[in-house]
Amino acid sequence: MIVRRFLALFYPEYRFETIKVTLDIGGETFIIRDTVEVDQGFKTITHPENSDSGKQLIHFDQGQSLPVKQVAFDQKMTEPPARYSEADLLTKNGEIRSRHPGHPGGADIIERLLQTEVLERKNGRLYPTPKGKQLIDLVNSDLKSPELTAKWEKQLEDIAYKNGNPKAFLQNIRKQTKQLVLEVKNSDKSYKI
């Protein structure tokens, strides 16, 4: 394997051609892509078994009409993205901490959310509990907005580059937090145990 990889350095580039065809069938758009090898190049050494030499690209002319021989309808439901695992969240937190060194540790936050039963583990994934869902509903919509998060991240970035005032930032966060907690307390929404 090592010898093959070394020898491949002296071979020409792998070259291929791709065709993309956009079809309009009954007002619906379908896309066909086809790729054919032009020159196997270095792959003659690294992947000799994967050659598709002799294959021809399909050919269409612009505006060409084609007969539709068969139409099949297959109804399926889309799947939501997989739930985050602790590792996923810790990786994201590591990325944030590299940009914002003062950011709190993710493992402590996750553990606190699990202890307060707003999150639970199922098959290695994290899910909100009914308590967690209620909390999300009770919280002010500004606090859940990506815009607020982006604003805070920008301010933290400014602080990291010495362009911002950390005391003013913390003072503003405390003020906003008190206001948001007061809104939840005074809200007509109720928390059900």
Q: How far apart are the first and last CA of the chain?
A: 62
- Per-residue model confidence (pLDDT) at position 144: 78
pLDDT tens, N- to C-terminus, the chain (193 residues): 677 777 777 788 888 888 888 888 888 888 888 888 888 887 887 777 766 666 776 777 888 888 888 878 888 888 888 888 888 888 877 776 666 555 566 778 888 889 999 999 999 899 999 999 988 888 778 877 778 878 888 888 888 888 889 899 999 989 988 888 788 778 777 766 6
Which pair of tokens denotes residue 137? 């509903």
Structural domain for 8, as ranges:
2-50
Domain presence at residue 39: yes
State the residue for tokens 């809200």: 187
Strands (DSSP E) along the chain, which ranges?
A: 15-25, 28-39, 119-122, 125-128
Please tell me the pTM assigned to this model.
Answer: 0.46
Domain presence at residue 58: no
Domain presence at residue 182: yes
- Compute the distance between CA of residue 30 and CA of residue 42 in angstroms, rounded to an integer: 34
157 contacts 99 by C-beta, under 8 angstroms: yes
Which pair of tokens denotes residue 57? 């690209």
- Number of domains into which the chain is organized: 3
Which pair of tokens denotes residue 84? 């985050």
